[in-house]
Chains A and B, each alone.
Chain A
Amino acid sequence: MRKVLTGNVAVAYGAMLADVQVVPAYPITPQTTIIEELATMQAEGLVDLDYIRVESEHSAMAACIGASMGGARAFTATCGQGLFLMHEMLHYATGARTPVVLANVNRAAAAPWTIWSDQTDSVSQRETGWIQLYCEGNQEVLDTTIMAFKIAETLRLPAMIVLDAFFLSHTSEPIDIPDRETVRDFLPPFDPGDLWLDPNNPRTFGGITMSDAYMEFRWQIQRDMEKAKGVITEVHEEFAKVFGRKYHQVEAYRAEDADVVMVVSGTVASTGRDAIDLLREKGHQVGMIKLKTLRPFPREEIIAVLKGKKKVAIIDRNFSPGATGIWAQEIRSALYELPEGDRPLIYGYIAGLGGRDISVKIIEGIYQKTVKDDRPDDVDMWIGVNYV
C-alpha cells in the first residue's frame, strides 16, 4: 500500500506494523504526532497495545524498561529536552539489557528555547549503549522502525531511530507501507527467553555488584555492540530480500574515484547527493558517504571507503563545546590508524544548528573551502555564522 505520510506518522506505522505491545508516551514538540497517531491507531483497534500516558519522558523510559522486563515489546518516542531527561534511563535500559525501541526526533537543546532540528540530543547519548540509526527520508524512517525491533531484540540492546525535526517529522512523502503479515514473518513476536520477571522462575535482576563482577557486565555490552555491526548488516540484507529496499550503515555515493569525500548524516544526505551531482557536472572529483549508525560506529566500513582519499569534509549538525562535531571526532579517530600515505586530511564543519538550512549552495561552499585550504583549521569551521 502506498500512502503520503510525514516522518512522524511513518514512525507510528512502523511501530504498529511491529505489533508493539506497550507504549508509555509523553508529548513534546516536534515528536508529539508520533504518539498521537499511535493513540488513534489504538483507539481504532488497528493495534493491540497498552498505552501508558506517563507524566514525563523519564517515566516513559522507566515504564518501557519495566514493560520489557515483563516480557513485552516496548516503544516510545521523544526529542530534545525529553531525550535529555531520559538520559539516566537510557543507560539503565542498556544495563538491564532491555531491547526497548525509541524514536528520537532530533531537536536542538535549550536555552534559548528552540524546537528546530539538530543532532545535539542524540549525539549526547552516544555513551549510553544505545544503537543509533539515523534516517534520511520517511521511507527509511518506517523501514528502520521495523528493523530496529529486530536488531534490538536479537542483541538485547536498546535501539534509537533518529529523524530530523520538521525536515522529516512534519514533511510528507509518498511511501510504501509493507504488508502486515509479511512484517510479522520478518519480525516474529518478542521472545524474552528467560530474561524477564517470570513468577514461575523467580530471579533477581540488577542487584548490586562488586568490582569483581561489574566490569564483566559492561564487557558483555561492548561485545554485543561489536556484534551489532554484523547483526545490523544481516537485518538490512534480510529486509532488502523481503521488502526490496536496501540500507547500509555506511552508504557511499560516487565516492569510488573521488579525491574529496563529504560525510553527512540524516536529511543532509539528500541535499548532499544533489550537491555532489552538480559538482561532478562541473568536473570535480567529489563523492559522499551517508552514515546511518553512530553506535555501533562502523569504523571498518568507513576506513574502507575513505582510505587513500586526499581530503574528507565532515558536516556535523551538532557539536561538542570545547571540542569538535561528533561525527568528525569519530572519523578522525577511526582514520588515525591508517598509514600516513593513506590517511586523508580531515576537515570538520559545523552547520545547520537549531534548524538552519543546509542547502546545496552551502555544501558546495564547504567543498570549495576544503579544496582550497591546504590544511584543515585547528578547530571546526562554523558555516554561515554571523560572528557577534
Chain B
Amino acid sequence: MYSLNQRFDNRDIPEDELLTSGNVACAGCGASLSMRLALKGLGKPTVLAVPACCWTIIPGAWPLSIMDVPFFHCAFETTAATISGIKAAYRKRGMDDICVVGWAGDGGTFDIGIQALSGTAERNDDVLYVCYDNEAYMNTGIQRSGATPIGSWTTTTPVKNPKSEQKKDIDAIMIAHKIPYLATATAAYPHDMIAKFKKARSIKGMRFIHLFAACPTGWRMPENLSIKVMRLAVLSNIFPLYEVENGETYRQTVIPDEIMPIDEYMHLQGRFRHLTDEDVKEFQKMVDKRFGHLREDFEKKN
C-alpha cells in the first residue's frame, strides 16, 4: 500500500553506485536520481546510449564523466536504432550478456525518436529503452513536447496560449507493439522502480520503461518538492505505476491507499499556475477518464 509521506526501508536497495558524485544536474533533478536508481536495478554489465537531452549534460563535459558503465552519446532521434546496432555487435562478438540500454528524454522518445523507437520495438530487438519523462524539452529551456500535459505553460506555449493538446499516450503506443515488457515507474517509489529494472534485465526482447521525472526548473517549483510531486502524480492517477507483459497482461504495481484529487499536484507547480478552478476540474475529468480505461485493463487482464 502506498501513501504520500510513507517511509521506505532502504536496506535492500543495492549499495553499488554505477555513477559517481559530481554530476551537473539542476538541484532536485528527477532524471538524475532516476539514472542512479535504474543502474542499481540493472547492475553490470550494462551499456548506455543517450541522445541529446538533459543527460547529455548531466554526466559532465568532456573529458569528465561520472559514469562507471560505457556511455555513448548518440544523435537525437537515433537512440533506438543505435542500441539495436550496439546489441547486434555484442551478439556477433559473443557478448550477449551485456544489457544494452537506450536512455532518452520525452522529446527524444515521444517526438523526434518515435520512428526509430517503433522500428526497434516492431523488430523486438533485445534492448531496454528508457524514457525519462519531464514533460517538455527541458535541456533546451522548457519547450513544449508531445509529452507536455494539456494546459501547461512552456516557453513555446506561453500563459496566454498554453498547450491546447493532450499528452501523447506513449505507453499505449508501445503496448500496441506487443513488446515483452513495458513498465511505468518513478524514483519517488524506488523499490518499485528498482524491481522493474531488475525484471527488465531478466527479460529477452524489447523492453520499455517510462519514468516520470520531476523537473523543478521547468515545472517552476522549489527543488525540495520533486519527490512529493512525483508521488502526487502517482497517488492522483496522473502517472499510474504498472507493468504490461506482451502487450496484454497488465498489473498495477503501486496501488494508492486512497486516490487523491489532482489539485495539490497542480497547485505546487508554477507551470499550471494560470489555470482556473474550472480548468483543473476539466483536467481531473481527463485523468479520471484515462485511468478508467487503464483500470479496465488492470481488471480485465488479471
Docked-complex contact A59 and B98, CB < 8 angstroms: no
Known A70-B86, A89-B78; judge A199-B61 contact (CB<8 A).
no
Docked-complex contact A72 and B92, CB < 8 angstroms: yes
Q: Does A74 contact B (CB under 8 A)?
A: yes
**Bound form: Cα–Cα A206–B62 in Å:** 8
Q: Does B59 contact A (CB under 8 A)?
A: yes
Distance from A356 Cβ to chain B, minimum over Cβ atoms (Å) = 35
Q: Does A385 contact B (CB under 8 A)?
A: no
Which residues of A lie under 8 Å from residue B83 when comparing CB positions? Answer: 66
Docked-complex contact B91 and A50, CB < 8 angstroms: yes
Known A22-B89, A71-B93, A197-B47; judge A204-B84 contact (CB<8 A).
no
Docked-complex contact B89 and A67, CB < 8 angstroms: yes
Q: Does B118 contact A (CB under 8 A)?
A: yes
Known A199-B46, A199-B47; judge A207-B82 contact (CB<8 A).
no
Residue in A closest to B123 when the chains form the complex, CB atoms? A53
Residue in A closest to B69 when the chains form the complex, CB atoms? A202
Docked-complex contact B45 and A199, CB < 8 angstroms: yes
Which residues of A lie under 8 Å from residue B87 when comparing CB positions? Answer: 66, 70
Which of B62, B68, B69 is close to A208, meaning CB atoms less than 8 Å apart?
A: B62
Q: Does B122 contact A (CB under 8 A)?
A: yes
**Bound form: Cα–Cα A198–B67 in Å:** 13
Contact with B along A57-89 (1 / 0, CB 8 A): 011101111111111101000000000000011
Residue in A closest to B78 when the chains form the complex, CB atoms? A62
Docked-complex contact A205 and B71, CB < 8 angstroms: yes
Q: Does A21 contact B (CB under 8 A)?
A: yes
Known A199-B44, A206-B74; judge A22-B116 contact (CB<8 A).
no
Residue in A closest to B77 when the chains form the complex, CB atoms? A58
Q: Does A282 contact B (CB under 8 A)?
A: no
Q: Does A24 contact B (CB under 8 A)?
A: yes
Which residues of A lie under 8 Å from residue B73 when comparing CB positions? Answer: 204-208
Residue in A closest to B46 when the chains form the complex, CB atoms? A199
Q: Does A55 contact B (CB under 8 A)?
A: yes
Which residues of A lie under 8 Å from residue B77 when comparing CB positions? Answer: 58
Q: Does A210 contact B (CB under 8 A)?
A: yes
Which of A88, A206, A208 is close to B57, meaning CB atoms less than 8 Å apart?
A: A208
Docked-complex contact A199 and B69, CB < 8 angstroms: yes
Contact with A along B275-290 (1 / 0, CB 8 A): 0000000000000000
Docked-complex contact B85 and A64, CB < 8 angstroms: yes
The interface centre, meaning the residue of B73, B81, B115 with most chain A CB atoms within 10 A of its CB, is B81
Distance from B81 Cβ to chain A, minimum over Cβ atoms (Å) = 4
Q: Does B222 contact A (CB under 8 A)?
A: no
Q: Does A209 contact B (CB under 8 A)?
A: yes
Contact residue range for chain A?
35 or more
Docked-complex contact B81 and A69, CB < 8 angstroms: no
**Bound form: Cα–Cα A210–B59 in Å:** 14
Which residues of A lie under 8 Å from residue B57 when comparing CB positions? Answer: 208
Q: Does B266 contact A (CB under 8 A)?
A: no
Q: Does A221 contact B (CB under 8 A)?
A: no
**Bound form: Cα–Cα A48–B88 in Å:** 12
Residue in B closest to A100 when the chains form the complex, CB atoms? B85
Residue in B closest to A48 when the chains form the complex, CB atoms? B92
Which of A59, A70, A71, A209 is close to B78, meaning CB atoms less than 8 Å apart?
A: A59
Q: Does B23 contact A (CB under 8 A)?
A: no
Which residues of A lie under 8 Å from residue B85 when comparing CB positions? Answer: 22, 24, 52, 62-70, 74
Residue in A closest to B67 when the chains form the complex, CB atoms? A204
**Bound form: Cα–Cα A66–B116 in Å:** 13
Which residues of B lie under 8 Å from residue A48 when comparing CB positions? Answer: 92
Which residues of A lie under 8 Å from residue B118 when comparing CB positions? Answer: 55
Docked-complex contact A54 and B119, CB < 8 angstroms: yes
Distance from B19 Cβ to chain A, minimum over Cβ atoms (Å) = 10
Q: Does A223 contact B (CB under 8 A)?
A: no
Docked-complex contact B70 and A202, CB < 8 angstroms: yes
Docked-complex contact B74 and A62, CB < 8 angstroms: yes
Which of B69, B78, B89, B90 is close to A58, meaning CB atoms less than 8 Å apart?
A: B78
Known A59-B115, A89-B75, A208-B56; judge A65-B92 contact (CB<8 A).
no
A-B contact pairs, 24 of them (CB 8 A): A21-B92, A24-B81, A54-B84, A54-B119, A55-B116, A55-B118, A58-B77, A58-B116, A59-B78, A63-B81, A63-B84, A65-B82, A66-B85, A70-B86, A197-B47, A199-B46, A199-B69, A199-B70, A202-B68, A202-B71, A206-B72, A206-B73, A208-B62, A210-B61
Mark A residues whose CB is within 8 Å of B: 21-22, 24, 48-50, 52-56, 58-60, 62-72, 74, 88-89, 92, 197-199, 201-210, 213
Mark B residues whose CB is within 8 Å of A: 44-47, 49, 56-57, 59-65, 67-75, 77-78, 80-93, 95, 98, 115-116, 118-119, 122-123, 125
